[in-house]
Structure formats: C-alpha cells, structure tokens
Amino acid sequence: MAARAASRSLRIGLIPGDGIGREVIPAGRRVLEALPKSLGLDFSFVDLEAGWGTFQATGNALPDKTVETLKAECNGALFGAVSSPTTKVAGYSSPIVALRKKLNLYANIRPVKSVAGKPVDLVIVRENTEDLYVKEETTRTLEDGTKVAEAIKRISETASKRIGKIALELALSRQAIRNGGGKSHHKSPLLTVTHKSNVLSQTDGLFRETVRAVYDAEKARYGAVRYEEQIVDSMVYKLFLIPGAYDVIVAPNLYGDILSDGAAALVGSLGVVPSANVGDDFAIGEPCHGSAPDIEGKGIANPVATIRSVGVMLEFMGETEAAAVIHRAVDANLAEGLVKSPDLGGRNTTEEVVLDVLRRM
C-alpha cells in the first residue's frame, strides 16, 4: 500500500484506573504506536487519572481535569479498570459511569468472538445512560419496622431510539465487513431486541416499541436486516445454547450488562472481551475485565481485551483499516494458542502476549 500524502494526528487519552488497568493500558498504547506507517496515522497521548485510587488520594474519583482534557484535546481514549469499595463510601461513585454521562457515550459496544471451538461472532449493544443505572433509590421503613428499598427504572423514547439506530447501523457495517471484496455472505444481518415487556409493559414495552419503530421507519435502509425480539430470560438460555445463531443483540442497560458479561464465558475469559463506550463524536475503549486485585503486580494479566478494545475504539473513530490490522493480529495469536496468559490456560506473561501480537502486526 502506498503511503498517504499526509498523516492524520490523533490524540488519545490514557486512563489506566486501578489494579491491572495500569498493566494493560500501556499495551494499548504500544499497539497504536506499532501500527504500519502506511496507514498515515500519527498518535500522541495524554495520561489522565480516574478511579478508586484517585479518589483515595484526592477525594474525587473523576477529576474535572480528566473530563476537560478529553473534551478539549482528545479524539478518543482508553480506560483500564476500576476497583470499587464493597460498602458505600460517602462521595464515591463509579468514574466510568460518570464519564459515560459527561461525554454522552450512550452505547456500550461489546463484541464477543471465538477463534476456536464453538463458533461465536456476535456483538451486544447495551444502552448506557438509563434503566436502573440512573441510581435513584430510596429506602423507607414501614409501620411494623421493616424496611423497603425501591429503585427507579427509567426508559426513554430518546435513548431507545438512538441505541436502536446504532445497533441497526452496526448490523449493516458488520455485514459489509463479512462481504469484503463484494462477495455476498450467505446470511443477512440479524438484530435481536432483548426485553421483558411481558412483565414490564411500560418501560421495556417502550424500549421494544421504539426500536421497532426505528426499523420500520427506515425500511429502505434497514430492509436487509432481519429483525427479531427475545424476552431476556429466553435470550440467556438461547445465547448459551446456540450462540452461533446471533449477530447483533440490543438491550436496555441492565440486561445488556448481564448478557455481555455472561457471553464472555462463551469465549473462555473476560480477558479477551473488548468494549467501547460510544457517542456521536467520541469513543472510549474499555476492556471488560475488572481491576483483578488477586493478580495485580504479577505481570500475568491478559492484555488481549485491551488490545481488542483499541481496535473497537478505532472502528468508531472511522479508522477501520487500522482496526483490522489489530483484530487480525489478535485473532492469529488466539488461533495458534501457543502464547497465552494463565486465564486461558497458558503460562505466558502480559509482556510475552503483547510481544506476540506486535510481531503479528
């Protein structure tokens, strides 16, 4: 490939967070720096703070400077992991949840793909801003002294419409990738809308009806997409029984959270599952694993989820060629299976896995 006439400069915020986030986010940076120069991309980086450790040091889990820098200077970002206290701590709240709200990152995109064994190649699109995650809870005491806790479940037409649209667009783009070179794929793209409207007729009913309305209103664009609906408990059963039957799954916040973590079991480990928090003009790549304090500092954290998250971030930044380079290298590493971290049954270190992926790039 001939080099492009001019490089495109992209500035990436690096937010390692807590625990093994500080061990895997540097791997993400190295992968970006190793992309072929022929792609015409020039990266710069800014280190930013957020997380439980930041809260302990400053009293603020998400400093204003981090948010301001992301908005003013960055084209995208990588977020590592967050340790959370097991009991309520006054003044503390999750920085990644706050980031999603402050940057209007309304969609959480989680691809789940296997390269061996049972075929799995799907993506879960999780609405990121509402549902029970609005965190409006109250506790009251009845006359007999017993306590009752209540939480608001909020579903809006606006949020449901935009998550439905991004899921439909993703179904089309995935099909275009499968049909690379103009070759028609044997299956048309599929969107599965997950809900519990048989019980929650107002909230989940609105979600289901709104996504369907987006599909119906733009049949000229989305007519090639097969559309179906699944009640969430049935969805869990079928997802584990026949994962190969699914393509793009869209769900409200809570169901998307549960489905996406559960789906990681289909591919062996959360350590290989990426995600991106996406809005209309910004994306944050985020591995799906937690801060893993049990292996922190041992040098054995799996960097694959972070590296794949770099690829997903780039896809939503419009850099699909660069993303493809990363995805091919990771897939080759996993398919060969000779260099892998302990969570996948291997004996290799974080550094050894990173070097193997870089070699394949």
Predicted pLDDT of residue 153 = 97
Angle at 97 between CA 237 and CA 54, to 5 degrees: 130
Q: State how many domains the chain has.
A: 2
> Are 97 and 114 part of one and the same domain?
no
Flag whether 244 is in a domain: yes
Flag whether 46 is in a domain: yes
Predicted pLDDT of residue 39 = 95
Q: Which residues, 6+ apart, have CB-to-CB distance to 255 below 8 Å?
A: 126, 194, 195, 196, 232, 235
Out of 207, 234, 269, a domain closes at 269
Predicted pLDDT of residue 180 = 62
Exposed/middle/buried for residue 300 (C-beta within 10 Å: 0-12, 13-18, 19+)? buried
Cβ contact 175:224 at 8 Å = yes
Flag whether 274 is in a domain: no
The Cα–Cα gap between 127 and 135 comes to: 15
Q: What is the 3-state secondary structure (H, E, C) of the chain?
A: CCCCCCCEEEEEEEEEECCCHHHHHHHHHHHHHCCCHHHCEEEEEEECCCCHHHHHHHCCCCCHHHHHHHHHHCCEEEEEECCCCCCCCCCCCCHHHHHHHHCCCCEEEEEEECCCCCCCEEEEEEECCCEHHHCCEEEEECCCCCEEEEECCECCHHHHHHHHHHHHHHHHHHHHHHCHHHCCCCCCCEEEEEECCCCCCCHHHHHHHHHHHHHHHCHHHHCCCEEEEEEHHHHHHHHHHCHHHCCEEEECHHHHHHHHHHHHHHHCCHHHCCCEEECCCCEEECCCCCCCCCCCCCCCCCCHHHHHHHHHHHHHCCCHHHHHHHHHHHHHHHHHCCCCCHHHCCCCCHHHHHHHHHHHC
Q: What is the CATH number of the domain that holds 3?
A: 3.40.718.10
Flag whether 164 is in a domain: yes
> Are 98 and 130 part of one and the same domain?
no
Nearest to 266 by CA among 104, 117, 72, 50: 117
Residues spanned by the domain of 128: 110-269
Q: Which residues, 6+ apart, have CB-to-CB distance to 281 below 8 Å?
A: none
Out of 269, 299, 321, a domain closes at 269
> Are 91 and 117 part of one and the same domain?
no
> Are 128 and 220 part of one and the same domain?
yes
Flag whether 87 is in a domain: yes
Q: Are strands 41-47 and 76-81 parallel, antiparallel or unpaired?
A: unpaired
Identify residue 205 by its one-letter amino acid code.
Answer: G
> Are 194 and 309 part of one and the same domain?
no
> Are 313 and 184 part of one and the same domain?
no
> Are 27 and 139 part of one and the same domain?
no
Token pair 């809006």 in the structure block, residue: 156
> Are 150 and 259 part of one and the same domain?
yes
> Are 22 and 124 part of one and the same domain?
no
Q: Which residues, 6+ apart, have CB-to-CB distance to 309 below 8 Å?
A: 28, 78, 274, 275, 276, 285, 286, 287
Predicted pLDDT of residue 310 = 98
The Cα–Cα gap between 246 and 112 comes to: 11
Flag whether 77 is in a domain: yes
Predicted pLDDT of residue 32 = 98
Flag whether 241 is in a domain: yes
> Are 322 and 258 part of one and the same domain?
no
Identify residue 258 by its one-letter amino acid code.
Answer: I
Out of 269, 296, 314, a domain closes at 269
pLDDT tens series, the chain, 361 aa: 344 446 899 999 999 999 999 999 999 999 999 999 999 999 999 999 999 999 999 999 999 999 999 999 999 999 999 998 888 889 998 899 899 989 999 999 999 998 777 789 999 999 999 999 888 999 999 999 999 999 999 999 999 999 999 999 999 988 887 776 444 555 789 999 999 999 999 999 999 999 999 999 999 999 999 999 999 999 999 999 999 999 999 999 999 999 998 998 899 888 999 999 999 999 999 998 999 999 999 999 999 999 999 999 999 999 999 999 999 999 999 999 999 999 999 999 999 999 999 999 9
> Are 360 and 264 part of one and the same domain?
no
Q: Which residues, 6+ apart, have CB-to-CB distance to 336 below 8 Å?
A: none
Predicted pLDDT of residue 274 = 95
> Are 115 and 211 part of one and the same domain?
yes
The Cα–Cα gap between 111 and 275 comes to: 7
